[in-house]
Copies of this chain bind each other. A is one copy, B any other.
Amino acid sequence: MTPSLTVVPVEPGQSRYAALAAALRARVVAGEWPPGSALPAEQTLAAEHGVALGTLRRALELLADRGLIERIHGRGTFVRAGMTGGTMMRFFRFGEGTGEVPASRIVSRQVLVAPAEVARRLGLARGDTALRLQRVRSLSGQPCVYEEIWLPLALFADLAEGEAAAWSDLLYPMFAERCGVHVHRAVDEIAFGALTAAQGRHLALPAGHPCALVTRSAYDLAGHCVEVRYTRGDAHAFHYTVTIT
């Protein structure tokens, strides 16, 4: 029999359902319910935590809003297997838009002292090193976006070794498989800038050419930032649609 799990508000003024959400998240992070698996029935969870069904439902709503779980009508509640729809290519229109997965080429892989902004986002101390990847993504042989990707060594040491040329074109499934890191949420900040000469060379564009710059912070199940990424592409190919209600 499962012992009753107490819900203790971790911050003064925190609501009961927010405290419950934190407790449920901790169970997911601890691996009790792996990504893709179903959570127990609502009645069971409410009984385990000694809360009313309404409180449990509000906690689940909160976790669904944060992308940790997914509620599928008539089927139940599931731990999400990972983020969907997060491709950087959604910010650009190149060529025909055939849905082709862009080819990925790692052009460099180095362990470097993380710049201040990267260290701040990753929660590293000043002077800490991190793994930096530079990669170019191409469609039909044409370079489309150039990326600088910063990863904390504590989680991604495995990627610092071995043959990067053999990596998959999609990084997140590889992060999950090789490093056990599940990206569940990403915050993409869009700005406009100009390419340096070095950045331009990767994209076959001249220095000073206008670019869109997307700065990503990606988060794991526990809400820790596990990746900082700078993606640059031709500003004239940038296109993004936002619907508001």
**Residues of chain A having any CB pair with chain B under 8 Å:** 58, 66-67, 73, 80, 83, 85-86, 184-193, 210, 212, 235-236, 238-245
State the CA gap A85–B244 with chains docked (Å). Answer: 8
Chain B residue, CB-CB nearest to A70:
B245
State the CA gap A17–B67 with chains docked (Å). Answer: 26
State the CA gap A200–B121 with chains docked (Å). Answer: 37
* CB pair A188 B245 closer than 8 Å: no
Chain B residue, CB-CB nearest to A210:
B210
Pick from A85, A186, A191, A241 the residue with the most CB of B within 10 Å.
A191
* CB pair B186 A243 closer than 8 Å: yes
Given contacts A58-B73, A73-B58, A210-B210, contact A191 B245 (CB under 8 A): no
Chain B residue, CB-CB nearest to A67:
B245
* CB pair B185 A244 closer than 8 Å: yes
The minimal Cβ–Cβ distance linking A72 to chain B, given in whole angstroms, is 13
A240 surroundings in chain B (CB, below 8 A): 189-190, 242
Given contacts A67-B245, A245-B185, contact A235 B238 (CB under 8 A): no
State the CA gap A235–B238 with chains docked (Å). Answer: 12
Q: Out of B184, B192, B244, which one reaches A186, CB within 8 Å?
A: B244
The minimal Cβ–Cβ distance linking A85 to chain B, given in whole angstroms, is 6
The minimal Cβ–Cβ distance linking A203 to chain B, given in whole angstroms, is 15
Chain B residue, CB-CB nearest to A61:
B73
* CB pair A245 B66 closer than 8 Å: yes
A212 surroundings in chain B (CB, below 8 A): 192
The minimal Cβ–Cβ distance linking A53 to chain B, given in whole angstroms, is 13
A236 surroundings in chain B (CB, below 8 A): 192-193
State the CA gap A66–B66 with chains docked (Å). Answer: 20
Counting from the closest, the 10 A-B pairs by CB-CB distance are: A67-B245, A192-B235, A188-B242, A190-B240, A185-B245, A189-B241, A86-B244, A192-B238, A187-B243, A186-B244
Q: Out of B189, B239, B244, which one reaches A190, CB within 8 Å?
A: B239
* CB pair A191 B66 closer than 8 Å: no
State the CA gap A239–B189 with chains docked (Å). Answer: 7
A67 surroundings in chain B (CB, below 8 A): 244-245
* CB pair A238 B58 closer than 8 Å: no
Chain B residue, CB-CB nearest to A189:
B241
